[in-house]
């Protein structure tokens, strides 16, 4: 039982961090970023290159991932999303653009980093074994704690800095924020960069544990979509809640339903659809997102 | 319908049923038959997605219905001994029925919520196909016979495909025929009272409900027509590949159906057809680019989006100066 | 509009066709061999190692002046098509091969693709060499597919039997990804283990391929305390993570799989935790590899920067195609001649030391010879490299 909760918490922390970036981008620009998973993969490969190829410390790799992805995110917003949003009649059109970017990143990752699974050596050795009730390797604990620290840092940033406040204002009401003198273009770009950076950071964190390969992008995006649906799209607390709930459901489902075979995800998906039928805006979302 | 439109339709029909086969036999590019057959079938499924766009819903779940339709046809032909031609409408009807059950709750969702829940639906389809006993699970259904003869009162309408010298041409003609019917139906729907009501839904659901439009009924109706299209496209594909697996239609397909609509243009009935042609054919033509295929393909997609965010067909609108 | 696009595309196709003709200006006539498989997206590793093996070998043969068949020397050209792991695309790829006049194709890499291309291959007279295991592809009335590797229902029993006799393994557990290929392989493995009289303690646990934490997946499996944990049809991406999670949960028994793995990936992903991991490979280990194999690895590494151990198995299909056509030049354009030759074909295996032979096998599993005889080399991972555990033959 303890093991299930610990597994769920660990999964939840990493999921929540992925969902945060996606929900931030969504709340600011109403863009469903299909390329979020690919950004996560790119972050993982950058850390891998820095740590395993150049032999630099892990923290340098993490910073490199954050910087690269922030730059990529900012560029994508400024040169691609912003012009398309300006010109298109229906804002859903950005979905095609996002999907195009996802394909593009897939292609670039394949050409630059190759098709193989990559991983960096464990950063901490050893396994915590509490009387066989909780078994948890130390590196997982470290990554989990780091993820939670980053979530906390992100919340503090959004609450107490000028940029954070501006972005929250933008998310609440774009027009009003503009009238109040918020530089919409600048903060949209900043928000997108921040969202992409979060994706890159998760990739960098997880490359030490699960490794990275070019196929992880698409499925990661879908999982992130599920989390923000559970919690409510465009709401930061919702993304965090969604991440932890999905992590817990996976952990419990895989243990309880193990005997029945292949149905854990089927159950998760089915219950999600039922849940949304009763509460279309998720746990904490604004109605009609 | 005015003369100009009639001429347009005539030219289109001649192109599809006359010029294309003629060009292929002249150039000897027999492989284009399959490519164009795929385009025709995928554009039928995309037409369904377009119809859900028309009521203001982003549908990324068409793959689930294509898969369901494929399985219905495969199971009925291999286990119940049905003729393929009978399973084709049945597959569509099954999907329409299924979509009513699924649509009743989820059509209450809007915007990205609906989009995401339908995306999950495709994955549910795959997992269900793996888990259900009737689908033969992971092993899929293989060695499905080719479509047999279709005759009414002894008159052969469609000959047995197994006896044909060139089943590729036959599949192309059937697929193109289906496509023409589906788009004619779509055109008819859009330009009927139902279409006007759908447009009102797209613009403002509360407002249309307040003036007495039965929005719930309308949404489910449009969604079930959409799923019907997905089902027959899936069934037809199964007849060509003579096999079906849980992975025959996946999330990628669902996303592609949606992209086809965007690319062609959401405001144009024939948008999805053009979008499918460009996306599918584009990939095929870039086959010579080798390992840069995906890079070029995605770059073109992004560039296209940058310059024509309202779909390729908006190009003509601007020229016509109607805006 | 549609017509115009079509015209344009036909023109484009004509131009590319011409440019292809222009490229092939060498004195030698060209023999084209096709590849249809997945070289982008999640499963890219499978197809890429395949395609690169073929391209390496082709470039090598061409550098030596070409390949002689029936008195004529041919340059070998590999025509590759990326099917994106989509069976619908795979059909298009096969059509493209038919259009190029190709009669021998390597691929597809997965079950659904291999099943989907069957009608096209049979209509157009194409022999294809899939890396997929469904038996109906290779048993009559199907006759155009040749299994390009050792199937899990052949290697699995051999491995289990060896471990039963040498390590006293009694209890066995299976874990598989929730996808067609791995699930089919798991079912085959369970059957084989039961036939050998082993106790199957867990065979229902599955995982999504995108799982980032395998601890909850493996927890119920490890609790059943198996002696051998089989990772059915595990992809090279998931293998190191599964091994790591199992070891970290305190599992001390054996772990094995029936698919080919890459030593570098295991080393990076699981490090010393992967020591003792049993997998199936080609003739790559030091004691088996011939000079030709070593040169192949060198050339591959030079051409593409990094070798992939999966290519140890995938190097064979092209060799079989060429050698069989050489044995019967009529097979160049006539697959019936190829099929007739298959029954009696025999040639020395250039990649293995000793007097190993290239022959077609599969009579036991398929009732006809529709499988290439790749040596069944069972490897065990040790400190970053594979060591040979034992070698067996498939008939």
**Chunked in runs of 10, what are the mean pLDDT values of chain C (395 residues)?**
50 48 62 92 83 94 92 92 90 92 93 92 93 90 90 89 92 92 91 92 87 86 92 88 90 91 87 90 76 92 89 90 93 92 91 87 90 88 89 81
User: Torsions phi, psi of A13, nearest 5?
Assistant: -60, -45
Segment among A167-171, A259-263, B144-148, B243-247 with least mean pLDDT: A259-263
In a domain, A271, yes or no: no
Residue of A nearest to B263 (CA): A96
In this structure, the number of other CB atoms found within 10 A of the CB of residue B145 comes to 14
Higher pLDDT, C375 or B226: B226
What is the rounded CA–CA span in Å between residue C327 and residue C360?
Answer: 13
Rg (CA), chain C: 21
By the 10 Å C-beta count (0-12 exposed, 13-18 middle, 19+ buried), B268 is classed as: buried
pLDDT at A28: 87
In this complex, do C6 and B287 lie within 8 Å of one another by their Cβ atoms?
A: no
Q: Is residue A12 part of a domain?
A: yes
Q: Do A135 and C48 touch (CB under 8 A)?
A: no
Question: Per the omega criterion (within 30 degrees of 0), is the bond before C188 cis?
Answer: no
Distance CA A208, CA C124 (A): 49
- Name the most confidently modeled range: A72-81, B19-28, C202-211: A72-81
Task: Give tens-digit pLDDT for C337-373.
Answer: 999 999 999 999 899 888 888 999 988 889 999 999 8
Tell me the chain B residues in contact with residue A233 when contact means C-beta distances shorter than 8 Å: 112-113, 116
Query: Which residues is C382 bridged to in the sheet?
Result: C385
Nearest Cβ partner of C220 from A216, A218, A255?
Answer: A255
Q: What is the mean pLDDT of residues A27-56?
A: 91
Q: Which of B27, B168, B245 sits opposite C87 (nearest CB)?
A: B245
Which one, of A239, A234, A254, A266, lies nearest residue A15 by Cα?
Answer: A239
Question: Could you report how far apart the first and last alpha carbons of chain B are, in Å?
Answer: 22
* Two tokens, residue C151: 């199937």
Best B16, B140, B255 member to test C by mutation, with max C CBs in 10 Å, is B140
- Domain with A109, as residue range(s), is 2-214
User: Residue A193 CB: number of other CB atoms within 10 A?
Assistant: 22
- Which A positions 115-174 lie with beta carbon below 8 A of chain C? 115-122, 127, 129, 132, 135, 137, 140
Q: Is B268 on the interface with C (CB under 8 A)?
A: no
Instruction: Classify residue A247: in a domain, yes or no.
Output: no
Q: What is the three-class DSSP state of C147?
A: strand
Gap between the Cα atoms of C106 and C317, Å rounded? 7
Report DSSP state, residue A92. G
pLDDT score at B321: 40
How many other β-carbons are positioned within 10 Å of the β-carbon of residue C118? 23
Task: Name chain A contacts of C219, Cβ cutoff 8 Å.
Answer: 3, 7, 254-255
- Which residues on chain A are in Cβ contact (under 8 Å) with C44? 110, 115, 214-215
User: For A99, phi and psi rounded to 5 degrees?
Assistant: -65, -40
What pLDDT is attached to residue A267? 87
- Among C3, C181, C184, the residue with its CB nearest the CB of B19 is C3
3-state secondary structure of C329: helix
Among the listed residues B235, B218, B27, the one whose alpha carbon sits nearest the alpha carbon of residue B107: B218
Q: Is A232 helix (H, G, I), strand (E, B) or coil?
A: coil
pLDDT at A289: 39
Bridge partners of A12, per DSSP, are none
d(CA C219, CA B299): 44
Confidence at residue C19, expressed as pLDDT on a 0 to 100 scale: 47
Q: Look at A262 and C178 and tell me if their CB atoms are within 8 Å.
A: yes
The complex's ipTM works out to 0.88
In angstroms, what separates the C-alpha of A193 from chain C's closest C-alpha?
Answer: 24
C274 — contact with chain A (CB < 8 Å)? no
B245 CB contacts (<8 Å, ≥6 apart)? B138, B140, C87, C111, C112, C115, C180
Shortest distance between the Cα of A287 and any Cα of chain C, in A, equals 31
Per-residue pLDDT at C10: 52
> Quick one: pLDDT at residue C162?
93
C: neighbours with 3+ CB pairs under 8 Å?
A: A, B
pLDDT tens digit string along B265-293? 888 899 999 999 998 888 888 877 777 88
The dihedral built from the CA positions of residue B39, B40, B41 and B43, taken in this order, carries a sign that is: positive
Q: What is the pLDDT of residue A51?
A: 93
Number of domains chain A is built from:
1
Q: Which two tokens stand for residue B232?
A: 């027959």
Give the pLDDT score at B317.
67
Give the model's pLDDT for residue C18: 45
The contacts of residue C304 (CB under 8 Å, 6+ apart) are C52, C56
Q: Is residue A28 part of a domain?
A: yes
Residue whose C-alpha is closest to residue A250's, from C202, C206, C203, B250: C206
Helix axes A2-29, A217-231, angle to 10 degrees: 90
| C15 neighbourhood in chain B, CB within 8 Å | none
> pLDDT digit string (tens) for B96-137?
999 999 999 888 888 788 888 898 899 899 999 988 888 888
Dist CA C356 CA C283 (whole Å) = 11
Q: Identify the structural domains of chain B with CATH numbers, from first to last.
A: 3-320 (1.10.3470)
User: How high is the pLDDT of residue B171?
Assistant: 92
Strands C228-232 and C171-177: parallel
**pLDDT confidence of residue C1:** 45
Q: Which residues of C touch A216 (CB under 8 A)?
A: 42, 210, 212, 237
With a cut of 80, say whether residue B251 has pLDDT above it: yes
Residue of C313, C356, C390, C327 lying closest to C158 (CA atoms): C390
All structural domains of chain C: 27-148+290-374 (3.40.50.2300), 152-259 (3.40.50.2300)
Contact C89, C114 (CB under 8 A): no
CB contact under 8 A, A206 and C212: yes
Q: Looking at A128-137, A211-220, B29-38, which range is the least confident one?
A: A128-137
Touching C: A residues 214-253, CB under 8 Å:
214-216, 218-220, 223, 250-251
| Least confident piece of the model among B73-82, B211-220, C222-231 | B211-220
Query: By the 8 A CB rule, do A190 and A167 touch?
Result: yes
CA-to-CA separations, A239 to A221, A223, B323, in angstroms, rounded: 13, 12, 41
Q: Which residues of A are less than 8 Å from B294 in CB distance? A: 103, 106-107, 110
Of A106, A216, A254, the CB nearest to C217: A254
Cα(C213)–Cα(A8) distance, integer angstroms = 10
Number of Cβ pairs < 8 A linking chain A and chain C = 128
Closest CA to C87 of B279, B250, B40: B250
Q: Does C252 touch chain A (CB under 8 A)?
A: no
Q: State whether B110 and A80 contact (CB < 8 Å).
A: no
Rounded Cα distance, B234 and C273, in Å: 45
* Cβ–Cβ < 8 Å for C205, C166: no
Percent of chain B with pLDDT over 90: 45
Q: Is residue A164 part of a domain?
A: yes
Assigned domain for A154 exists:
yes
Chain B residue numbers with beta carbons less than 8 Å from the beta carbon of A83 are: 306
Contact call for residues C337 and C330 (beta carbons, < 8 A)? yes
Domain-embedded: residue A240: no
A233 domain residue, yes or no: no
């Amino acid at each position: 039982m303890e093991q299930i909760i610990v597994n769920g918490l660990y999964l939840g922390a990493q999921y929540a961090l992925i969902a945060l970036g996606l929900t931030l981008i969504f709340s600011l620009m109403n863009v469903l970023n299909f390329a979020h998973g690919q950004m996560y993969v790119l972050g993982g490969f950058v850390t891998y290159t820095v740590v395993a190829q150049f032999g630099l410390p892990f923290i340098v790799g993490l910073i490199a991932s954050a910087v690269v992805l922030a730059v990529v995110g900012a560029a994508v917003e400024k040169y691609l999303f912003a012009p398309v949003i300006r010109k298109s009649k229906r804002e859903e059109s950005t979905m095609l653009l996002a999907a195009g970017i996802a394909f593009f990143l897939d292609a670039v990752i394949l050409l630059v980093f190759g098709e193989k699974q990559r991983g960096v050596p464990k950063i901490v050795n050893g396994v915590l074994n509490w009387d066989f009730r909780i078994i948890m390797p130390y590196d997982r604990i470290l990554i989990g704690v780091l993820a939670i620290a980053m979530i906390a840092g992100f919340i503090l940033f959004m609450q107490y800095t000028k940029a954070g406040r501006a972005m929250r204002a933008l998310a609440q009401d774009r027009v009003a924020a503009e009238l109040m003198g918020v530089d919409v273009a600048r903060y949209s770009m900043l928000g997108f960069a921040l969202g992409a950076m979060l994706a890159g950071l998760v990739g960098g964190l997880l490359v030490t544990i699960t490794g990275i390969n070019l196929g992880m992008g698409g499925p990661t995006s879908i999982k992130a979509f599920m989390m923000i649906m559970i919690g409510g799209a465009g709401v930061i607390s919702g993304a965090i809640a969604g991440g932890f709930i999905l992590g817990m459901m996976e952990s419990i489902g895989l243990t309880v339903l193990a005997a029945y075979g292949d149905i854990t995800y089927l159950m998760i998906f089915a219950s999600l659809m039922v849940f949304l039928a009763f509460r279309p805006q998720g746990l904490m979302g604004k109605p009609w997102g | 319908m005015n003369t100009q439109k009639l001429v347009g339709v005539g030219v289109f029909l001649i192109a599809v049923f006359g010029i294309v086969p003629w060009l292929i036999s002249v150039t000897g590019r027999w492989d284009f038959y399959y490519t164009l057959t795929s385009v025709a079938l995928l554009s039928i499924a995309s037409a369904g997605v377009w119809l859900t766009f028309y009521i203001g819903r982003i549908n990324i779940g068409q793959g689930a219905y294509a898969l369901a339709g494929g399985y219905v046809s495969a199971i009925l032909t291999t286990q119940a001994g049905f003729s393929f031609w009978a399973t084709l409408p049945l597959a569509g009807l099954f999907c329409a029925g299924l979509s009513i059950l699924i649509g009743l709750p989820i059509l209450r969702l809007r915007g990205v919520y609906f989009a995401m829940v339908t995306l999950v639906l495709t994955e549910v389809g795959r997992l269900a196909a793996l888990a259900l006993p009737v689908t033969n699970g992971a092993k899929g259904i293989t060695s499905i016979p080719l479509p047999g003869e279709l005759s009414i009162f002894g008159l052969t309408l469609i000959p047995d495909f197994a006896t044909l010298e060139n089943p590729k041409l036959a599949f192309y003609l059937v697929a193109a025929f289906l496509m023409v019917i589906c788009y004619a139906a779509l055109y008819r729907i859009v330009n009927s009272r139902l279409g006007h009501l759908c447009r009102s839904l797209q613009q403002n659901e509360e407002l249309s409900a307040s003036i007495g439009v039965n929005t719930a009924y309308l949404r489910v109706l449009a969604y079930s027509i959409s799923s019907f299209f997905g089902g027959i496209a899936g069934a037809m594909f199964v007849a060509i590949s003579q096999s079906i697996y849980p992975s025959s239609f996946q999330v990628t397909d669902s996303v592609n159906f949606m992209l086809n609509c965007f690319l062609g243009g959401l405001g144009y009935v024939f948008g999805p057809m053009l979008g499918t042609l460009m996306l599918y054919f584009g990939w095929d033509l870039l086959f010579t680019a080798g390992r840069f295929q995906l890079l070029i393909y995605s770059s073109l997609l992004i560039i296209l989006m940058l310059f024509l965010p309202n779909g390729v067909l908006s190009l003509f609108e601007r020229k016509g100066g109607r805006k | 509009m549609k017509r115009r696009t079509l015209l344009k595309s036909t023109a484009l196709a004509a131009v590319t066709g011409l440019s292809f003709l222009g490229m092939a200006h060498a004195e030698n006539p060209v023999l084209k061999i096709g590849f249809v498989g997945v070289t982008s997206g999640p499963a890219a590793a499978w197809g890429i190692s395949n395609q690169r093996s073929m391209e390496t070998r082709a470039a090598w043969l061409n550098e030596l002046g070409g390949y002689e068949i029936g008195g004529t020397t041919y340059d070998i050209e590999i025509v590759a098509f990326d099917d994106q792991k989509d069976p619908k695309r795979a059909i298009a790829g096969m059509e493209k091969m038919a259009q190029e006049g190709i009669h021998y194709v390597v691929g597809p890499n997965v079950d659904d693709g291999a099943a989907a291309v069957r009608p096209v291959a049979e209509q157009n007279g194409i022999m294809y060499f899939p890396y997929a295991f469904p038996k109906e592809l290779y048993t009559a009335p199907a006759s155009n597919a040749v299994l390009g590797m050792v199937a899990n229902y052949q290697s699995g029993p051999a491995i289990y039997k060896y471990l039963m006799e040498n390590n006293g393994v009694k209890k066995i557990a299976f874990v598989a990804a929730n996808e067609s290929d791995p699930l089919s392989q798991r079912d085959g493995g369970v059957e084989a283990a039961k036939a050998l009289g082993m106790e199957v303690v867990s065979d229902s646990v599955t995982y999504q391929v995108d799982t980032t934490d395998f601890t909850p997946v493996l927890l119920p499996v490890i609790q059943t305390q198996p002696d051998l944990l089989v990772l059915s049809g595990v992809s090279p991406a998931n293998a190191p993570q599964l091994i790591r999670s199992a070891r970290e949960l305190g599992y001390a028994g054996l772990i094995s799989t029936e698919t080919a793995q890459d030593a570098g990936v295991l080393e990076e992903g699981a490090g010393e935790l992967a020591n003792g991991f049993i997998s199936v490979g080609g003739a790559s280990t030091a004691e088996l590899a011939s000079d030709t194999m070593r040169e192949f690895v060198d050339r591959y590494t030079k051409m593409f920067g990094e070798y992939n151990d999966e290519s140890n198995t995938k190097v064979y299909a092209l060799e079989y195609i060429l050698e069989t056509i050489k044995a019967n030049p009529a097979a160049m354009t006539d697959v019936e001649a190829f099929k007739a030759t298959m029954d009696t074909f025999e040639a020395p295996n250039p990649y293995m030391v000793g007097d190993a032979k290239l022959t077609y096998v599969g009579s036991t599993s398929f009732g006809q010879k529709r499988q290439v005889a790749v040596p069944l080399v069972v490897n065990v991972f040790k400190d970053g490299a594979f060591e040979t555990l034992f070698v067996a033959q498939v008939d």
